[in-house]
Chain A
Amino acid sequence: MLKNLIAQIKQYKKVTILTPIFTALEVFMEILIPFVIAELIDKGIEAGDMGQVYFYGSIMALLALLSLLFGILAGLFAADASSGFACNLRNALFSKIQTFSFSNIDRFSTAGLVTRMTTDVTNMQNAFQMSLRIAVRAPLTFLCSMFMCLFIDVELSMIFFAAVIILGCVLFFIMSRANKIFTKVFEDYDELNASVQENISGIRVVKSFVREKFEDIKFKKASGGLYKMFMKAECILAFNNPVMMLTVYSCIIMLSWFGANHIVFGSLTTGELTSLFSYVMSMLMSLMMLSMIFVMISMSSASAKRIAEVLNETPDISDPQDPIKEIKDGSIDFNDVNFSYKHGSGKKVLKDINIHIDSGETIGIIGGTGSGKSSFVNLISRLYDVDSGEVKVGGVNVKDYDLELLRDKVAVVLQKNVLFSGTILDNLRWGKEDATLEECKEVCAQACADEFIERFPDGYDTWIEQGGSNVSGGQKQRLCIARALLKDPKVLILDDSTSAVDTATDAKIREAFAKKIPGVTKLIISQRISSIEHADKIIVLDNGMINGFDTHENLIKNNAIYNEIYEAQTSAGGDFDEE
């Protein structure tokens, strides 16, 4: 799991290695300085020797400058490495998601992907920076101090080695206990936040039912529960400091006692005792730091896991070995097609589909929710792969085509369609990057989008807000159709793409299709009979199977489902809709 993440360091490998090196150099300086201080005091000040004061003073100043230099460099490298690492992680995630097929996308929620690319990456960035700096500093300080102690007095060192080991064990015990609770706490915390979210988006419901008090009480109960859990964890953590102090103080007292003995019996000098005290302190400090990293890493491991989940996902649709680079015509064949969203295991969404559509035909598709309409058309541009059987376009299995070619020539206007922030022209040019204004105007005329675009003060340069929130549903749908037309497709699929367009405009669009792009095979999914009744043939889907495939007139006579829908819509059940 971590391998995939660490691989993202890439061009920041150099700074990533330099950071700990310079941190190490900084630590060396920090360890040397107390040594020089001892000399400065012993040989300079206590002896009243000005020359020695200047000598050791300038050494110390030099060391301080070096330490400053190393410290600053380490800090800068750490910042560079960690922000670079985060940047690479985001790029890797983003590029990876771009390779996802529809079924990969379905597995993650939009919000989930956004959190992974923002909060989780930020967590990783912080953990990475901390580890680079402290992961070196703490053990190194520890080791150097230990070495120095052994150098000064082996016997005394043993006293606090024992203390340090005991402290290490206790800290580890405390942290792992607290950590267990914290994992649970964060789950509860997520739930509490989910309930806030629910209240923000549903505030109108809360207010119209006058449930403010009710929600308050519910929230207070949940937040009280969270408080108790937090307290449980914090009460364990509250032992951290006292335990640490207990160890330090015991060491100081023991060191004072045994140190005094050693001095009196001549195996230790007073200056050495002072140094021992400061090394004990720095050893314990580094232990404290290590325990901090331990918490940080375990907290960020959840983030790492979530990021790795995306990076490790294998896209399940990819280009064939020797892709075919040309599509002959817009004929479509389904031969014994079976399909389910969870390949093989899940409920079958399409069963034994056999159908042939001639190039240039207009086909209507109708059926209830969950009857498999969208799944049916999504197989044509290979947005999903079939479980068994084959789907052919222009007489060739879709799996043999170059994916980009296939998706350009089989244009789909999705049911849940999206416009992006940018001008209308920018959005249209998604269909064809170098389209001229005339070409854009032409397709907009076909999609009946020209009338409203020209009414905008900025015309084709009108700025579309994120998600197209400043145009109405009907306008959005017409822009999406125009965008797809610009691809100059051989097959055009409209997945319920005129539901918000009024009936008259809907008819005009169909008319334009018949006149301007007669050679394009058109598949139209709709809930409205009026949108499809003029099609050459209509497919009635029911429960993943083809229930009827015939003209409107014949279906009314022979097909019970079609007849029922028709009856329901003509007897005053129709839409009264306007953009």
Chain B
Amino acid sequence: MEKRKIDWKLMGKTITRTFKYTFKKYKWHCLVVVICIIATSLATLQGTLFIQKLIDDYIVPLLNSETKDFTPLAHALMGVASIYVIGIVCSYGYNRIMATVTQGTMRDLRDDLFEHMESLPIKYFDTHAHGDIMSIYTNDIDTLRQLISQCIPQIVNSSITIITTFTSMFILNVPLTLYTLAMIGVMLLVTTRIAGRSAIYFKKQQAELGRVNGYIEEMMEGQKVIKVFCHEDKAISDFEVINNELRESAKKANSFANITMPINHNIGNISYVICAIIGAIMALSGFSGLTLGTLVSFMTLNKNSTQPVSQISTQTNAIVMAMAGANRVFDLLDEESEVDNGYVELVNAKEDENGNIIEADKRTGMWAWRHPHKADGTVTYTKLEGDVTFDDVDFSYDGKKMVLHNIKMYATPGQKIAFVGSTGAGKTTITNLINRFYDIADGKIRYDGININKIKKGDLRRSLGMVLQDTHLFTGTVMDNIRYGKLDASDEECIAAAKLANADSFIERLPDGYDTVLKNDGSNLSQGQRQLLSIARAAVADPPVLILDEATSSIDTRTEKLVQEGMDRLMKGRTTFVIAHRLSTVQNSDCIMVLEQGRIIERGTHDDLINEGGRYYQLYTGKKA
């Protein structure tokens, strides 16, 4: 069983933080809202008070008078009406402003979440299930919206009612007030008890919902396999078991939540009866100066004081759930962003008359690294060429288990380096170090002679092109997707890139050509076509260094040929690191690195390695040497 009690301290912290977040931008709005709420509840209160006065101060005298003059009543009603009008106006004001505050805060929160998420290191996305991150944007934000828009105003409202009624009660009679306070204490105690129990089951329900969710996902994903193996009945009976467990905990959680209201409500009723009896005894015996008239008024206040408490108590579940959601939201916001201490920048460059590289103020097609030296305040320029060196690089994902050991390699501009080896040998990891998706544990990686830790991450990545095995396309037109590589590319540039990537011919055949809208990660395109688009996207960026991950999935021979040609054309004249799956790619490489368990075990050209008769030979021929 989980912790029996709610972590009130953490909850308090989260509530404060939620308030702070809202106040940051909507300080004045919130102030006006609070004033409006106070005004509204005061207007309601004077209404309730007036009903009491109505009989004593107006109707009874009228009954007794001869003239039956209704003017004093008319005046009084006009006064009440005008206060009501203020109340109504304030009520509209508070609802309207609250909408701005709630929706505005939601928008800010979404924007902040997204902006922060984009700044997080790749590691975060590797270690968190994508479904969980998504649910922060959908479920958690939504519970928070309810908290801000409903719970908080209600709590403010109820608190005001409680304060005003208790003040009046104290004025009327102290001992009875203390008694009422004690009863409210009982109510609160019962509420927290129930809320605690219910929170446990709500947690359990969430966990079981997750299990059911996981099972459904797995089965739906494998639905066709289930059919092929006639496994339907087994799947149903397994599902019924976990589904029933979910029902049990949902039933318990809801039971506790459902009984809170009737329990509180009737404790209120009992409290009323006891108050009446104690009060009557006190009044009849003349104790503490209580008169029967005062007791009648006090009884009304007693009823009024327990109502807001039971109202708040029904909110506790919503608050507990919202706080759990808010915690997840803040957890994401507290994740540490990718650190970038780089100071070497990529700038447009040109050569002056002496052949020195100097900075240019517009696009020249030539790029240089601008390297300021702190020690002597000078700035040097190095031409961007695409020379990459690994010097004794070690790497580990978790700081414990080393994934790469003593990687040493170099690629001079225009060279093609192929990585081969089994799954998990570290091929993809190496490429993820070049663009600093991950930072190395030991050793150095140099780019054009500069330690890549000194280069601004954005500039480093801009100079590297990537074509990944899982192509990701974005919602938008085909043209938008190609332009992703270079935002200011003209249509002509994009089409030229598509032609280079061999994508032009299939795009032209799409219903709207380059303006065809892609949705759901380009699900209306075939795997091969998506690959061609991602090549075009890299081509338009025109980077000096390329990282390619060849697709292993079965594309038919014709499309595969197109993809291959596209890749070959893209690689021409660029330093290329390629995770190779095809013979032709490997054979044409300047150097092949054979990786096994995070180490380079063989290196050389295709012919060298075949002659060596080692692991590469074995991979190539499928025979043991």
Contacts and interface: CB of A to CB of B under 8 A. Distances in A.
A67 B420 contact: no
A117 interface: yes
Contacts of B458: 210
A227 to B, nearest CB: 4
A71 B295 contact: no
Contact of A208 (B125, B214, B423, B466): B466
A234 B239 contact: no
A200 to B, nearest CB: 5
Interface string B274-315: 001101110110000000100110010001000000000000
Nearest to B125: A203
B347 interface: no
Interface string B234-277: 01100110011011101111110111011101100110110011
A79 B254 contact: yes
Interface in B431-461: 435, 437, 457-458, 461
Contacts of A415: 554
Given A219-B114, A263-B59, A467 B218 contact: yes
A291 B484 CA distance: 48
B328 interface: no
Interface in A536-579: 564-565, 568-569, 572-579
A209 B266 contact: no
Interface in A27-55: 33, 37, 40-41, 44-46, 48, 50, 53-54
Interface stretch (A155-163, A324-332, A387-395, A416-424): A416-424
A112 B339 CA distance: 38
B367 to A, nearest CB: 14
Contacts of A487: 229
Nearest to B526: A369
B56 to A, nearest CB: 9
Given A94-B236, A206-B118, A105 B223 contact: yes
B475 interface: yes
A82 B254 contact: yes
A504 B248 CA distance: 53
A187 interface: no
Interface string A435-467: 000000000000000000000000000000011
B73 interface: yes
Contacts of B325: none
Contacts of B473: 202
Contacts of B255: 75-76, 79-80
Contacts of B99: 231, 234-235, 237-238
Interface centre among A79, A102, A421, A473 (most CB of B within 10 A): A79
Contact of B95 (A241, A261, A417, A503): A241
A259 to B, nearest CB: 8
Given A193-B138, A209-B541, A245 B87 contact: yes
A8 interface: no
Contact of B77 (A219, A257, A565): A257
A472 B227 contact: no
Given A199-B118, A208-B464, A235-B96, A86 B262 contact: no
A489 B209 CA distance: 38
A195 B92 contact: no
Interface stretch (A146-154, A269-277, A514-522): A269-277
Interface centre among A87, A411, A564 (most CB of B within 10 A): A87
A87 B250 CA distance: 10
Contact of A238 (B95, B263, B521, B557): B95
B84 A249 contact: yes
Contacts of B429: none
A256 B133 contact: no
A79 B421 CA distance: 57
B530 to A, nearest CB: 12
Interface in A380-417: 381, 383, 403-404, 407-408, 411-412, 414-417
B216 interface: yes
B77 A579 contact: no
Contacts of A136: none
Interface string A63-92: 111011011101110111011101100110
A276 to B, nearest CB: 10
B243 A87 contact: yes
A65 B54 CA distance: 33
Interface in A249-265: 249, 252-253, 256-257, 260-261, 263-264
A83 B92 contact: no
Interface stretch (B20-28, B104-112, B398-406, B495-503): B104-112
A83 B59 contact: no
A211 interface: yes
A219 to B, nearest CB: 5
A216 interface: yes
The SS class assigned to the B binding surface is helix
A84 B114 contact: no
B280 A129 contact: no
A416 B262 contact: no
B462 interface: yes
A404 B230 contact: yes
Contacts of B258: 74-76, 78-79, 133
Contacts of B178: none
Range class of the A interface residue count: 35 or more
Interface string B199-234: 000000000010011101111111111111111110
Given A80-B251, A404-B230, A407-B230, A71 B261 contact: yes
Interface string B582-624: 1111110000000000000000000000000000000110110
Contact of A210 (B246, B266, B461, B553): B461
Interface stretch (B373-381, B389-397, B509-517, B558-566): B558-566
A110 B213 CA distance: 12
A579 B619 CA distance: 10
B99 to A, nearest CB: 4
A97 interface: yes
A204 B263 CA distance: 54
B139 to A, nearest CB: 9
Given A64-B273, A68-B266, A234-B103, A94 B92 contact: no
A1 to B, nearest CB: 23
A77 to B, nearest CB: 9
Interface string A289-330: 000000000000000000000000000000000000000000
Contacts of B554: 415, 496, 499, 527
A64 B270 contact: yes
Contacts of A193: 134, 137-138
Contact of B564 (A76, A196, A573): A573
Interface string A202-231: 111111111110111001100110110011
A322 to B, nearest CB: 19
Contact of B243 (A46, A90, A381, A408): A90
A102 B219 CA distance: 14
Contacts of B102: 234
A60 interface: yes
A260 B582 contact: no
Nearest to B268: A64
B119 A212 contact: yes
Contacts of B119: 212
A203 to B, nearest CB: 5
> Closest 8 CB pairs between A and B?
A71-B262, A75-B258, A504-B622, A202-B472, A79-B254, A234-B99, A418-B222, A64-B269
25 contacts: A53-B277, A63-B269, A65-B266, A72-B262, A79-B252, A79-B257, A83-B248, A84-B251, A87-B244, A94-B239, A98-B232, A198-B474, A199-B117, A207-B122, A231-B100, A234-B99, A241-B95, A242-B91, A270-B55, A274-B51, A403-B230, A412-B228, A472-B423, A573-B584, A579-B423
Given A264-B62, A574-B583, A576-B581, 18 more contacts: A45-B295, A65-B266, A71-B266, A76-B258, A79-B257, A98-B235, A98-B236, A197-B130, A205-B472, A208-B465, A226-B107, A227-B107, A260-B73, A263-B63, A274-B51, A504-B622, A504-B623, A575-B582
